Amino acid sequence: MEINDIIKPENKVYGKTPVLKDAVMHYCPGCSHGTVHKIIAEVIEEMGIQDKTIGISPVGCSVFAYNYLDIDWQQAAHGRAPALATATKRLMPDKYVFTYQGDGDLASIGTAEILHACNRGENIVVIFINNAIYGMTGGQMAPTTLIGQVTATTPYGRDVKLNGYPLKITELLAQLDGTCYVTRQSVQTPGAVRKAKRAIRKAFENSMMDKGTSFIEVVSTCNSGWKVSPVEANKWMEENMFPEYPLGDLKDR
């Protein structure tokens, strides 16, 4: 059978979702942000909620998320996405409201906002991209940086005596009574992508059931910041990030 006989519209099994715009993403090659954007767009398409979804983009690489998903967006000050999401959801309870934040945004400058939004049990979805580094500004140490990990500001590796321990914000948030669903996912293999997609769908559904905050951490790569190739970054993540940030549901009620 010739390839031209296979490549026909009726044989199409997978392609870009129309919720994702045609713009080329500015992310580095192999960045996990693109994959997570894609699965959020697919969930929005499958649920048919494109005109009912409002995203809050953070400060960081993903500040431009509003250029890539064809939904309504707001952009928050650094770390303040949960506060903006709180207001949006309270004023428009019939909308699906989610924030999209990195670890420098959520786990550092935005710690107070995320803890209190989750403690109040706001009916929002929080998608937290943890790549253990400040990617946008040039690979500096983040609160989630692993012990011994070399970054621009820890050239000899993160030293506990000097820099403290990696902040496991997801474990912290799972303890709060306001959260209903807390999970940790990744997107480096097809299986992991499908699991993460199911988790995002469940979180969106939770946000309409008045159950509390749904929090999804996605353990991600920053191959530019880590100074390795995209494929090596996925391997490095599996070997080093997963022991510190184990995947799975921490809370589901």
Binding site for other proteins (CB under 8 A): 1, 3, 5-8, 11-17, 20, 24-25, 27-35, 38, 187-190, 193-194, 229-231, 234
Q: Which is nearer to other proteins, 1 or 162 (CB)?
A: 1
Q: Which is nearer to other proteins, 5 or 94 (CB)?
A: 5
d(CA 203, CA 170): 15
How near is the Cβ of 227 to other proteins at its closest, in Å?
15
**What are the CA-CA distances from residue 37 to residues 173, 177, 186 (Å)?**
23, 29, 13
How near is the Cβ of 142 to other proteins at its closest, in Å?
21
Cα 54 from chain centroid? 15
Q: Which is nearer to other proteins, 30 or 79 (CB)?
A: 30
Give the sign of the dihedral formed by CA 206, CA 219, CA 144, CA 106: negative
Q: Which amino acid is at 18?
A: P
d(CA 97, CA 90): 10
Contacts of 129 (CB under 8 A, 6+ apart): 32, 33, 36, 62, 100, 101, 102, 103, 218, 220
Q: Which is nearer to other proteins, 40 or 118 (CB)?
A: 40
How near is the Cβ of 189 to other proteins at its closest, in Å?
6
How near is the Cβ of 250 to other proteins at its closest, in Å?
25
Contacts of 135 (CB under 8 A, 6+ apart): 31, 60, 61, 102, 104, 222, 224, 225
- Contact at 8 Å (CB) between 33 and 101? no
How near is the Cβ of 129 to other proteins at its closest, in Å?
12
Q: From the CA atom positions of the chain, what is the Rg in Å?
A: 18
How near is the Cβ of 226 to other proteins at its closest, in Å?
14
Q: Which is nearer to other proteins, 100 or 181 (CB)?
A: 100
Q: Which is nearer to other proteins, 90 or 194 (CB)?
A: 194
